[in-house]
Amino acid sequence: MPYLGEITALLTACCWSVSSYIFTAGANRIGSVQINIDRMIFAVIILFITIVFAGISIDLSQNQIINLAISGIIGLVIGDTFLFKAFTMIGTRLSMLLMSLTPAMSAILAYFFLGEKIISLGIIGMIITLLGIVLVVFDRKEKGESSHSKRGLGIFYGILGALGQALGLIFAKFAFEESNINGFLATFVRLFAAAILILPVSILLRRYKNPIKLYTADRKEFAFTLGGTFFGPFLGITLSLVSIANTKVGIASTLMATVPVIMLPIGKFVFKDQIKLKAVIGAVIAVAGIAILFLR
């Protein structure tokens, strides 16, 4: 299918945009650590059921399993942990801006480790898209933003979060380059490896509560977590892996980084948010960059 990688990258951004709203509502009720771990556990269960009932082959080499496991640990555990730390230290706006470094990091790493080269028009499209994303992110004002302390350390954590995401994509690409892998199976391995590492640590640190008691007492929170899991780890991550398997890592990560742009119409028409001219201009620029990536 033409442009399968690019299309699935944009669908990934759409899924992550929806899940971000759902998880934000859920995290306000039970906390980010709890919902981060529960989304992994729920996704692993849903993916296992999907693989079994769909009869998906689980024939993976040892190297593919190792690469996917490393990808999950670096991207979903280490990368996300640094990102969440950045959120608390420098706020969402600046953290999201630093995460826009992921495509550039991915492209550089893919060049050195995968031999991927992007033509000049593709590089121009990436730059224009990222410029639009930056304008959209900078249009967002954040309450109490000036009160964030330890700014330097927070920026450092944000950069590490972006690097973790980029490295996670590279290791996943290693697995896909060896042979074709079903996206749901690849996502299962990544999430399972991340969950079995982060769950025991969180329990030992007493940062994780019994989910059965928690969701029995709060059915609405269970609905939030389950809905966010479907659009985020289950569908979103699966589509992201399909994307990097079918296009350049740098291009895929650029298109997946359009989440702030895609969130604009959702915020406007669903949550009645006010959108300023700068955000509209940024969105138009990002769309122009996306068009160039498709036409390159």
Give me the tens of pLDDT residue by residue for the chain, a chain 296 residues long: 789 999 999 999 999 999 988 987 887 788 878 998 999 999 999 999 999 999 999 999 999 999 999 999 999 999 988 988 888 788 777 888 888 899 999 999 999 999 999 999 999 999 999 999 999 987 765 554 444 557 889 899 999 999 999 999 999 999 999 999 999 999 999 999 999 999 999 999 888 999 999 999 989 999 999 999 999 999 999 999 999 999 999 999 999 999 999 988 988 888 788 888 999 999 999 999 999 999 86
Task: Note the pLDDT of residue 202.
Answer: 92
Determine contact, residues 43/186, Cβ cutoff 8 Å: no
Task: Note the pLDDT of residue 43.
Answer: 97
How many other C-beta atoms are found inside a 10 Å radius of the C-beta of residue 81? 17
Nearest to 31 by CA among 194, 185, 268, 224: 224
Task: Note the pLDDT of residue 142.
Answer: 54
Measure the CA–CA gap between 231 and 226, rounded to whole angstroms: 9
> How deeply is 92 buried, as exposed, middle or buried, from its count of CB atoms within 10 A (0-12, 13-18, 19+)?
middle
SS (H, E, C) the chain: CCCHHHHHHHHHHHHHHHHHHHHHHHHHHHCHHHHHHHHHHHHHHHHHHHHHHHCCCCCCCHHHHHHHHHHHHHHHHHHHHHHHHHHHHHHHHHHHHHHCCHHHHHHHHHHHHCCCCCCHHHHHHHHHHHHHHHHHHHHCCCCCHHHCCCHHHHHHHHHHHHHHHHHHHHHHHHHHHHCCCCHHHHHHHHHHHHHHHHHHHHHHCCCCCCHHHHHHHCHHHHHHHHHHHHHHHHHHHHHHHHHHHHCCHHHHHHHHCCHHHHHHHHHHHCCCCCCCHHHHHHHHHHHHHHHHHHHC
In the structure encoding, which two tokens stand for residue 90, read together? Answer: 């420098």
Nearest to 67 by CA among 114, 18, 22: 114
Task: Note the pLDDT of residue 146.
Answer: 45
